[in-house]
Amino acid sequence: MTAKGRWWVYVVLTAGLLAVISPFVWMLLSSVKPAGEILGTPPTWLPGHVTGEHYRSLFERLDLATYLTNSVAVAVAVTVGNMVFCSMLGYVLAKLSFRGRRLLFGLVMGMLMVPGMVTFVPLFILVSNVGLANTYSGLILPYLVQPVGVFLMRQFIGELPDELIDAARVDGAGEARIFARIVLPLCGPALATLGIITFLASWNNFLWPLVVAQTEDMYTMPVALALYSVGQNSIDYGLLLAGAVVVVVPVLLLFTFLQRHFTQGIATTGFR
Amino acid sequence: MRCRIPFVVLMTSLLAVAACGRETQTGAAPQQPSSVGEGKATGEITVWAMGGEGENLGRLAAGFERENPGATVKVTPVPWDGAHNKLASSIAAGQTPDVSLIGTTWMGEFAKTGALQPTPSSFDRAAFFPGLWATTEVGGTSYGVPWYADTRSLYYRKDLAEKAGVRPPATWDELKSFAQALKDKGGAAQGINLQAGGTGAWQTFMPFGWQAGAELVDGEGKFTLDTPRMRTALEYYTSFHRSGLSSSDRLVPGAQVADFVSGKIGAFVSGAYDRSVILKQGGPEFASKYGVVELPKGERAASFAGGGDLVVFKNARNADGAWKFIRYLSRPDVQAEWFTIQADPPAVQSAWQDPALAKDDFLQVFGRQLKVAKAPPAIPTWEQVAAVIDGGIEQAARGTASVSDVLRTMQASAASIGTGN
């Protein structure tokens, strides 16, 4: 590619980057603006007057340690669960042949097509009838295996060469060993993708934790933020933005840090 | 084609689960006290309250626990955002507390699920503002007790009005010239901001509708959205948008106050809750720069009545304690105390004579307004109909459809949604 052509690529990429990043920058800057300035028309970028009042009220009024612990516990459990179980089921659906495999895969696809809102109330009835309302299990179990993850892993594992698995089988490895020692190590990129998607979905989940939690000490961050910033007739945008920064920044840092591992994972697989 | 079988399996299992839920709901034997028992409350009383109300209710509960040493009140604060979903799901699963705060406009819907206990007859309805008590009545039966009030009056910039040489309006004609003066001589970009659509726009519009003598439903419970009086009101309301006195753009919730404080908006219609927001943004010195008056009269005086009601669920484990707690919360002195904690206007009329409220001139405007405030019909489908009205207001304010077309469509859509009875 010529230098001139590359120049255009950078312009397009910069424009794209600005479009993606500007809401975050505005969120960061506005979280230190006084309440009146956040909603002023026309909207401004730089705070005319810097204040820490929103952060102060966030740390004073909210029991952040509890909410963050709940959020992390649920998100990590859901993410690990999905990475383990979705890849197991994905392996079975992709590489093993048995009666009813198509039906099983059809079931997974069917679940993929039913909108979450349709199953929401029945799911909650089920969870509360088995006594899991207001427990971590109630928050985690329904999300432990997601059909989209199974689908993703099945597609990825399906592309791995059969020869590798057959060779291991000839060497006398059982299915569990093949899965753990051969298939899983090759799934790096897919697992990374699945991990990001599940972690973010769980971290941002609002309605399910809201409904399942029956006491304030079971609330996750998004629920607690909504509780303290949204009134019946008014919204405390300052608190909401400060809270959003606290919610988003750890995740951004985590992914910036982990990104190296993701790219490594792709580089070292050597297949595809 | 391959997907068909799993789908059927899935759907049947869903239905089975849904059916389970209904069983548990009707299975619980409801106790329905006709009067609240004598004696002290005992046992644990679980309460859901939303937002700031939930954050602070614990402080009131402390007083109740002192008077009833055998009782403990456990308050769970629930976010307003999502509260409707949480209540609906919890009712379906039978996973409800003893007491919950409910937005007044949700009463019809939740009462119709059969999950709420009728109010014991020992509650004196005359103690409450009539518009608020009406929000608890669904099909002639009351299913809760008003806790706090919300009504709408006119906020205006005192300094801009003085600059323009006008006095706050008392009639529709005066409101028009008042807004014109705030714009032309006061320097406000919008003389008045009247919500031009978006969720809840009907709460700003309907006061004008009621002032014109229009009603949302007639005596037989049929919608009456397309009447000459409603047309008068919508034409008057949107004349502010057409003549540029009010912006026909939807504002972000909360932007109204920011623009009011900065002087871009000369006046707007809102509830007492905006006082603290205004003073937070404008600082204490702003207190002398704005005032509030009752909404101007059309054929009659009227405003919107809302706020929050307290309900007891049928499968409450401690129904007796629950009603006793509600009785405590509706005592005039406790209502006044709640005002000093959360600044929620009391729903009980006599609480307004409490010194804390009586000397509050700002609040007394809302107290007078409440006497003429009206509530929308408490029907299960109200939120859907309200969305139709919100959409109609937006079309009329933007001028994308004529007022008569808008009203005709509104009436047709509302009629097809029905009153759910």
What is the domain extent for residue A247?
A: 64-269
Amino acid at B296: P
B44 in the same domain as B114: yes
Joined tokens for residue A129: 């009838």
pLDDT at position A262, please? Answer: 65
**Residue A39 — pLDDT band, cuts 50, 70, 90?**
confident
Q: Are residues B133 and B77 in the same domain?
A: yes
Share of chain A above pLDDT 70, in %: 93
CB-based contact B150 A233, cutoff 8 Å = yes
Residue A239 and residue A59 in contact, taking contact as beta carbons nearer than 8 Å: no
Q: Which among B2, B7, B92 has CB closest to A102?
A: B2
Indicate the range of A5-9, A50-54, B392-396, B401-405 predicted with least confidence. Answer: A5-9
Report percent pLDDT > 90 for chain B.
Answer: 78
Q: Write down the pLDDT at residue A234.
A: 80
A36 in a domain, yes or no?
no
For residue A261, name the pLDDT band (cuts at 50, 70, 90): low
Confidence of residue B32 (pLDDT cuts 50, 70, 90): low
Tell which residue, B205, B291, B289, B290, has the closest CA to residue B240. Answer: B205
B191: DSSP letter: S
Tell me the three state secondary structure of residue B313: strand
A214-225 tens-digit pLDDT: 999 999 999 999
Please give the average per-residue pLDDT across B55-66, as a whole number. Answer: 93
Q: What is the pLDDT, as a whole number, of residue A4?
A: 64
Q: Strands B137-138 and B145-151, how do they pair?
A: unpaired
Q: Which residues pair with B141 in a beta bridge?
A: B138
Domain count within chain B: 2
| Per-residue model confidence (pLDDT) at position A159 | 87
Q: What is the dihedral of CA B111, B113, B119, B124, to 10 degrees?
A: 10
Let me know if residue A2 belongs to a domain: no
Mean pLDDT in residue range A6-21: 91
Helix axis angle, B332-342 to B51-67, nearest 10°:
140
B316: number of Cβ within 10 Å = 24
When scoring B12, B15, B17 by the number of chain A Cβ atoms within 10 A, the one with the most, hence best to mutate, is B17
Domain that includes residue B241, residue range: 153-304+378-417
SS3 of chain A = CCHHHHHHHHHHHHHHHHHHHHHHHHHHHHCCCCHHHHCCCCCCCCCCCCCCHHHHHHHHHCCHHHHHHHHHHHHHHHHHHHHHHHHHHHHHHHHCCCCCHHHHHHHHHHHHHCCHHHHHHHHHHHHHHCCCCCCHHHHHHHHCCCHHHHHHHHHHHHCCCHHHHHHHHHCCCCHHHHHHHHHHHHCHHHHHHHHHHHHHHHHHCCHHHHHHCCCHHHCCHHHHHHHHHECCCCECHHHHHHHHHHHHHHHHHHHHHHHHHHHHHHHHHCCC
Q: Which residues in chain B touch residue A102, judged by CB atoms under 8 angstroms apart?
A: 2
On whether any CB of chain A is under 8 Å from the CB of B420, the answer is no
- Cβ separation of A35 and B81 shorter than 8 Å? no
Q: Which residues pair with B311 in a beta bridge?
A: B100
Summarize pLDDT for B65-93 with one digit per residue, the tens: 999 999 999 999 999 988 999 999 999 99
Classify burial at B267, counting beta carbons within 10 Å of its beta carbon; exposed 0-12, middle 13-18, buried 19 or more: buried
Do residue B237 and residue B382 come from a single domain? yes
B13 assigned to some structural domain = no
Q: Are residues B129 and B262 in the same domain?
A: no
What's the CA gap between A186 and A170, in Å, rounded? 19
DSSP-derived letter for residue B370 is H
The whole-number average pLDDT for the span B253-257 is 84
Please report, for residues B34, B60, B280, B376, B389, the alpha-carbon distance to residue B230 in angstroms, rounded to integers and kept in the order given. 40, 42, 37, 14, 12
Task: Quote the pLDDT of residue A88.
Answer: 93
CATH number of the structural domain spanning residue A221? 1.10.3720.10
User: At A13, which amino acid appears?
Assistant: L
Distance, in Å, from the CA atom of B257 to the CA atom of B278, rounded to the nearest integer, reads: 6
Q: What is the pLDDT of residue B8?
A: 40
Q: Are residues B202 and B259 in the same domain?
A: yes
Residue A12 lies in a domain: no
Length of chain B in terms of residues written: 421
B292: pLDDT strictly greater than 90: yes
Tokens 């009131």 identify what position? B60
Name the amino acid, one letter, at B247: S
Contacts of B271 in chain A (CB under 8 A): 233
SS3 B387: helix
Segment B179-235, tens digit of pLDDT: 999 999 999 999 999 999 888 899 999 999 999 999 999 988 899 999 999 999 999
Q: Helix (H, G, I), strand (E, B), or coil: what is residue B302?
A: coil
User: Cβ distance B318 to B117 under 8 Å?
Assistant: no
User: Contact at 8 Å (CB) between B376 and B131?
Assistant: no
**Structural domain count, chain A:** 1
B78 pairs with which residues across the strands?
Answer: B50
Q: Is B345 on the interface with A (CB under 8 A)?
A: no
- Cα separation of A179 and A186, whole Å? 10
Q: What CATH number corresponds to the domain at position B367?
A: 3.40.190.10
pLDDT digits (tens, 9 = 90+) for B102-148: 999 999 999 999 999 999 999 999 999 999 999 999 988 999 999 99
Q: B253 at the A interface (CB within 8 A)?
A: yes
pLDDT attached to residue A264: 55
Instruction: State the Cα–Cα distance between residues A53 and A2, nearest whole angstrom.
Output: 52
If you measure CA to CA, which chain A residue comes closest to B265? Answer: A41
Contacts of B21 in chain A (CB under 8 A): 121-122, 125, 129
Angstroms from A151 CA to nearest CA on chain B = 14
pLDDT tens digits along A107-155: 999 988 988 888 899 999 999 999 999 999 999 999 999 999 999 999 9
Nearest to B255 among A39, A61, A125 (CB): A39
Q: Give the confidence band of B20 by pLDDT, cuts at 50, 70, 90.
A: very low
Angle at B196 between CA B135 and CA B87, to 5 degrees: 35
Handedness of CA A88, A89, A93, A97 (dihedral sign): positive
Residue B29 placed within a domain = no
Give the integer Cα–Cα distance in Å for A110 and B415: 37
User: Do B276 and B404 share a structural domain?
Assistant: yes
Q: Which residues of B285-302 are buried (b: 16+ CB within 10 A; e: fewer)?
A: ebeebbbbbbbbbbeebb
β-strand partners of B307: B149
Under the banding of pLDDT at 50, 70 and 90, the label for residue B4 is: very low
Residue B282: its chain A contacts at CB < 8 A? 36
Structure confidence by residue, pLDDT tens digits, A197-250: 899 899 999 999 999 999 999 999 999 999 998 888 888 888 999 999 999 887
| B288 and B343, same domain (yes or no) | no
Q: Give the span between the Cα atoms of A190 and A195, in whole angstroms.
A: 8
CA distance linking residue B202 with residue B193, whole number of Å: 14
B199 — contact with chain A (CB < 8 Å)?
no
- Indicate if the pLDDT at residue A266 is higher than 60: no
Model pTM score: 0.84
B96 plus B158 within the same structural domain: no
Residues of A in Cβ contact (< 8 Å) with B280: 35
Omega before residue A42 within 30° of 0, cis: yes
* Chain pair A-B, CB pairs under 8 angstroms: 145
Q: Are residues B287 and B382 in the same domain?
A: yes
* Chain B CA closest to residue A112: B7
Output Rg (C-alpha) for chain A, integer angstroms. 23
The answer for B344, left when phi > 0, alpha when psi is -120 to 50, beta otherwise, is beta
Mean pLDDT of A177-190: 88
pLDDT band at B254 (very low <50, low <70, confident <90, very high): confident
Point out which residues pair with B292 in neighbouring strands: B155
Residues in A closer than 8 angstroms to B17, CB to CB, are 122-123, 125-126
When the pLDDT of each residue in chain A is averaged and rounded to a whole number, the result is: 87
b/e burial code for range B100-109 (CB count within 10 A of at least 16 → b): bbbbbbbbbb
Both B250 and B394 in a single domain?
yes
**End-to-end CA gap in chain A:** 25
User: Which chain A residue is nearest to residue B279, measuring alpha carbons?
Assistant: A36
Residue B343 lies in a domain: yes
Is residue A13 domain-resident?
no
Separation of alpha carbons B73 and A102, rounded Å: 54
Quick one: B204 and B327 in the same domain?
no
Lowest mean pLDDT among B31-45, B324-338, B350-364, B367-381: B31-45
> Does residue B25 form part of some domain?
no
Residue range A21-40: average pLDDT? 88
Look at A121 and B89 and tell me if their CB atoms are within 8 Å. yes
B190 SS3 class: strand
Average pLDDT of every residue of chain B: 89
B53 lies in the same domain as B88? yes
> Does any CB of chain A come closer than 8 Å to the CB of residue B137?
no
Does residue A34 sit within a domain?
no
| The pLDDT of residue B26 | 38
Dump pLDDT digits (tens) for A72-114: 999 999 999 999 999 999 999 998 888 999 999 999 999 889 8
Distance CA A196, CA A188 (A): 12
